[in-house]
């Protein structure tokens, strides 16, 4: 049970400790705080987008303990003690993730609003399955709606990223 | 969209959860994955003052095989955990497939089997296949526990027999003699669409004769519906496409579909005929798929 204090307005604030992109944050949140709003408004991580807000579009996809979820449906208080990865956590030391590189190379996004969510779904797929088929890629991003592209370049970029990271790994091993 | 204020409890056990639900009565509701209740609270369809978390309780998160009992699935197991369960893949791949068809990946990582059942949406994907396999639900409340066949849990759209202080804690798919089972669904898209019609079938075929069968229809009546006349027709007979077509015709007479934004009642009724035939053929020919 997270500890809490009752505010002047009579509403409880719960003490939560959440690791976001490798950094541990301890914050007071109200029970009605949604993870997407916590990330965007409390932590200023605005890469995670808010769109349909009912779990249909996938724009708010983040990894919760390594699994993609819609952060618009997750209560922040329920994430106490857990680990969240957002799109800001993909690049390391100013070096883009291979998926981000390939998204640029293939001009995969158009307006770009769905791109952070698709990146997170694709990241989760490649962590679990480094060598996916086209069907598996399409299945993995089925919960991410894109109204610009038609997904073709996204699918190509993800498949290319998988192939490239396999090559790099093989190169290292060889 | 923001949520109105409410209090949040994280009990340490099912017992404590039931006590909280009992203490706060209609002011409180349990929350597991949150994929239904959070959205309903945003839309002000539900306005609980208190949410009691049960999704974190380890006792509700197991899938295990208990010899002599069957496969036990904890109520707060997510759809993806069902889909990826080695035990279920081995014994009832049909259940994994139904969980896979339920929604997109992000929702399957949050939404729980217990939630899918307790929301009692007529088009839900898990009830038909679980009912077809004679699944029972263990219901625990502040005053004790009871076990019911899953088909008796539903009362109407969004209504179950559960009292406000009761929780489903686990489902048991009993060791049975079914030789095959399947759930097939027709949605308007391949992903993320509710069932227009969902049909589950299970069969026990011995020496070329159907000893027993279940046909369960989803999205075509206020609650998941057993097509008992169609089941009776095929029991004791040899499987054939003609027999299953006849069973489909009978099943389409048994269902009570409505017309809505997704399909007309007439269309749903005819799809019940087609899908009943296909489901029976698949369960007879391919096992638990």
Q: What is the CATH number of the domain that holds A25?
A: 3.10.20.30
**Phi, psi (rounded to 5 degrees) for B266:** -60, -45
Q: Is residue A77 located within the same domain as residue A102?
A: no
Q: pLDDT tens digit string along B213-222?
A: 999 999 999 9
Per-residue model confidence as pLDDT tens for chain A (174 residues): 689 999 999 999 999 999 999 999 999 999 999 999 999 999 999 999 999 999 999 999 999 999 999 999 999 999 999 999 999 999 998 899 999 999 999 999 999 999 999 999 999 999 999 999 999 999 999 999 999 999 999 999 999 999 999 888 887 665
Which chain B residue has its CA at the smallest distance from A61's CA?
B106
Nearest residue, CB atoms, A67 vs list B55, B103, B109:
B109
Query: A-contacting residues of B 80-109, CB under 8 Å?
Result: 80, 103-107, 109
Q: Is residue B1 part of a domain?
A: no
Instruction: Give Cβ neighbours of residue B186 (< 8 Å, ≥ 6 apart).
Output: B195, B196, B197, B198, B271, B275
Number of domains in chain B: 3
Q: Is residue B191 located within the same domain as residue B248?
A: yes
Q: Is residue A78 located within the same domain as residue A134?
A: no
Helices (H) and strands (E) in chain B, counts: 11, 14
Predicted local confidence at residue A38, as pLDDT: 98
Which chain B residue has its CA at the smallest distance from A65's CA?
B109
Instruction: Give Cβ neighbours of residue B255 (< 8 Å, ≥ 6 apart).
Output: B217, B220, B221, B225, B227, B268, B269, B272
Give the domain range for residue B32.
7-52
Q: Is residue B192 located within the same domain as residue B164?
A: no
Q: Is residue B66 located within the same domain as residue B155?
A: yes
Q: pLDDT tens digit string along B4-27?
A: 999 999 999 999 999 999 999 999
Look at residues A89, A122, A154 and tell me which one is the last residue of a structural domain. A89
Which chain A residue has its CA at the smallest distance from B110's CA?
A69
Number of domains in chain A: 2
Q: Is residue A72 located within the same domain as residue A40?
A: yes
Size of interface A-B (CB pairs under 8 A): 89
Give the domain range for residue A60.
4-89
Predicted local confidence at residue A174, as pLDDT: 52
Tokens of A82: 């857990």
Q: Is residue B193 located within the same domain as residue B255?
A: yes
Q: Which residues of A touch B6 (CB under 8 A)?
A: 31-32
Q: pLDDT tens digit string along B265-282?
A: 999 999 999 999 999 999
Q: Is residue A39 located within the same domain as residue A82?
A: yes
Q: Do B8 and A75 touch (CB under 8 A)?
A: yes
Contact with chain A for residue B193, Cβ under 8 A: no
Q: Which residues of B touch A37 (CB under 8 A)?
A: 2
Tokens of A101: 């590189």
């Amino acid at each position: 049970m997270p500890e809490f204090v009752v505010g002047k307005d009579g509403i409880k604030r719960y003490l939560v400790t959440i690791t976001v992109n490798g950094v541990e944050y301890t914050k007071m949140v109200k029970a009605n705080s949604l993870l997407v709003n916590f990330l965007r408004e409390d932590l200023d991580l605005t890469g995670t987008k808010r769109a349909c807000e009912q779990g249909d579009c996938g724009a708010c996809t983040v990894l919760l303990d390594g699994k993609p979820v819609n952060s618009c449906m997750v209560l922040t208080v329920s994430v106490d003690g857990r680990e969240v990865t957002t799109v800001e956590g993909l690049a390391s030391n100013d070096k883009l993730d291979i998926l981000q590189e390939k998204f640029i190379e293939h001009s995969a996004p158009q307006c770009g609003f769905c791109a952070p969510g698709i990146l997170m779904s694709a990241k989760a797929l490649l962590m679990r399955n480094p060598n996916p088929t086209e069907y598996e890629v399409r299945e993995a991003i089925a919960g991410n709606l894109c109204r610009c592209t038609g997904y073709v370049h996204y699918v190509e970029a993800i498949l290319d990223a998988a192939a490239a990271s396999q090559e790099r790994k093989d190169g290292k091993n060889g | 969209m923001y949520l109105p204020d409410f209090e949040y409890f994280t009990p340490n056990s099912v017992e404590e959860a039931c006590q909280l639900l009992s203490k706060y009565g209609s002011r409180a509701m349990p929350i597991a994955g949150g994929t239904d209740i959070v959205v309903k609270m945003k839309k002000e369809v539900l306005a609980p003052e208190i949410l009691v978390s049960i999704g974190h309780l380890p006792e509700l998160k197991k899938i295990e095989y208990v010899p002599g009992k069957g496969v036990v699935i904890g109520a707060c197991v997510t759809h993806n955990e069902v889909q990826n369960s080695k035990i279920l893949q081995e014994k009832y791949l049909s259940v994994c497939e139904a969980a896979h068809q339920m929604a997109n990946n992000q929702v399957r990582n949050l939404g729980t089997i217990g939630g899918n059942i307790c929301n009692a949406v007529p088009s839900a994907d898990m009830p038909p296949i679980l009912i077809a396999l004679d699944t029972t639900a263990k219901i625990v409340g502040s005053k004790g526990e009871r076990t019911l066949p899953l088909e008796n849990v539903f009362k109407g759209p969004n209504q179950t027999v559960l009292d406000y202080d009761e929780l489903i804690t686990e489902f048991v798919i009993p060791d049975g003699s079914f030789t095959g089972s399947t759930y097939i669904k027709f949605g308007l898209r391949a992903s993320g669409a509710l069932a227009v019609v969902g049909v589950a079938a299970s069969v026990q075929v011995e020496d070329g004769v159907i000893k027993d069968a279940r046909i369960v229809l989803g999205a075509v009546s206020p609650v998941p519906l057993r097509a008992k006349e169609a089941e009776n027709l095929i029991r004791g007979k040899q499987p054939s496409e003609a027999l299953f077509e006849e069973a489909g015709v009978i099943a389409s007479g048994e269902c009570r579909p409505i017309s809505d934004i997704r399909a007309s009642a007439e269309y749903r009724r005819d799809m019940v005929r087609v899908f009943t035939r296909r489901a029976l053929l698949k369960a007879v020919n391919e096992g638990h798929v």
